[in-house]
Amino acid sequence: MQTSLPKILIIGSGLLGLGLNNLFRVNGFTTRITVRNQTTDKNLLIKAEKTNLKNKLIQHGGVICDTLDDYKRVISEYNPTHIIDTIPQPTQELVSYLLSIDNCFKFEFSSPASDFAKAFPDKCPIGSYPGDKFTLEKLVNQRGIEKQDALVTQIGFIPEIVTLDGKPVLSGLSLETMIMCNLLTGQYDSEISSDLHIALAKFDKSKGFTCTTINNIYRFLHDIITGLVVPQNIFGRTLAMHSSQVWPRSEICNALTNSNYKNSLPEFYGQKSQDKISNPVTTYINAFCNNPVYCVSHQDVVSAIQDSSKLFKDPTFRQQLIETAIAYAYSQGK
């Protein structure tokens, strides 16, 4: 057990990394968060915003990491007690290095997509998102068996917008989805250009996700870091923390305008029937959901969705989000 005060290193400064960094720091924890110095985005607005984010992050515990040597230097100098890797698809080289660090607890995140790779490995080679997630799980679980200092948890889509110093954090699918769903409510039609109206008309509202909120993840990590005992039989097994319902974008739109909205889809943890609930879901529920605070409730998801709606109420911030939606639309040829 750690006897020193926690020193948390968050790998990755996207939606989840920044959201967790904000929560840990506001609650008095010492953190560092890695941010890339380089961006490959060709869209000038997105590129400029990521550069601004990098500069702001330096004032909020940010450290530049572009190469494996950068990570090694930061870890050697900072000597973290806990590492939280939030990069969506980290390289196997980086994951292997992070897992090799002793006297430090490691948290990795996976996706239900890895279950597909486990069932159909021929369709999910290394380099594919499901294939890489399945490989990550195997690496973390092997370390967990050997050292009892690493956990991997499958999480769902995060239906949130995270901010830093009053600016939205560019976070790909989550940010685009939450902006477009807010605009699809029709409340801001008079502020939308004809090009954006066309993009909204093409936006697939049927696409759905199991969901996990940053607050859910934070509570779980916070309690482990501050003393929650992880059962020994959990090490070496993948966990899954996500909603018991799928949330299509159409349901997200409905929840944006009604804080009491009830998702109309059945509860089944994203599987086709009760008898097909995945092992990671069952493992997590049996180990931790005797305390409801660790389960992703329907209200958790609705509250997170509603928070993005509140951000849209501010005209200046809303204009930033609309400009970002236009940039995403152009960069993807919509």
**pLDDT tens digits for 180-224?**
999 999 999 999 988 899 999 999 999 999 999 999 999 999 999
How far is Cα 258 from Cα 35, in angstroms, rounded to an integer? 36
Q: Give the predicted TM-score (pTM) of the model.
A: 0.93
188, 93: one domain:
no
Considering the domain boundaries, does residue 48 fall inside one? Answer: yes
User: Which pLDDT band, with edges at 50, 70 and 90, does 80 fall under?
Assistant: very high
223, 151: one domain:
yes
Which residues constitute the domain of residue 310? 157-211+243-269+290-334
What pLDDT, on the 0 to 100 scale, is given for residue 317? 92
100, 168: one domain:
no
How far is Cα 91 from Cα 73, in angstroms, rounded to an integer? 18
Q: Are strands 208-210 and 167-168 parallel, antiparallel or unpaired?
A: unpaired
Tens digits of per-residue pLDDT, 81-101? 999 999 999 999 999 999 999
233, 162: one domain:
no
Q: Is the pLDDT of residue 274 over 80?
A: no
CB 60 within 8 A of CB 25: yes
Q: Taking the mean position of all CA atoms in its chain, how far away is CA 150? A: 18
What pLDDT, on the 0 to 100 scale, is given for residue 147? 97
For 15: left if phi > 0, alpha if psi spans -120 to 50, otherwise beta; the answer is alpha
322, 238: one domain:
no
Considering the domain boundaries, does residue 1 fall inside one? Answer: no
116, 224: one domain:
yes
User: Which pLDDT band, with edges at 50, 70 and 90, does 331 fall under?
Assistant: low
What pLDDT, on the 0 to 100 scale, is given for residue 51? 79
Considering the domain boundaries, does residue 72 fall inside one? Answer: yes
Q: Is the pLDDT of residue 1 over 50?
A: no
How far is Cα 309 from Cα 311, in angstroms, rounded to an integer? 5
124, 206: one domain:
no
180, 129: one domain:
no
197, 139: one domain:
no
Considering the domain boundaries, does residue 127 fall inside one? Answer: yes
Of 294, 316, 276, which is closest to residue 230 (Cα–Cα)? 294
User: Residue 38 maps to which CATH number?
Assistant: 3.40.50.720
Q: How many CB atoms lie within 10 A of CB 107?
A: 24
91, 129: one domain:
yes
Considering the domain boundaries, does residue 177 fall inside one? Answer: yes
How far is Cα 82 from Cα 6, in angstroms, rounded to an integer? 7
Please tell me the total count of domains within the chain. 2
| Angle (nearest 5°) at CA 78 between 24 and 222 | 25
Considering the domain boundaries, does residue 2 fall inside one? Answer: no
Among 146-155, 254-263, 267-276, 299-308, the least confident range: 267-276
User: Which pLDDT band, with edges at 50, 70 and 90, does 330 fall under?
Assistant: low
129, 216: one domain:
yes
227, 265: one domain:
no
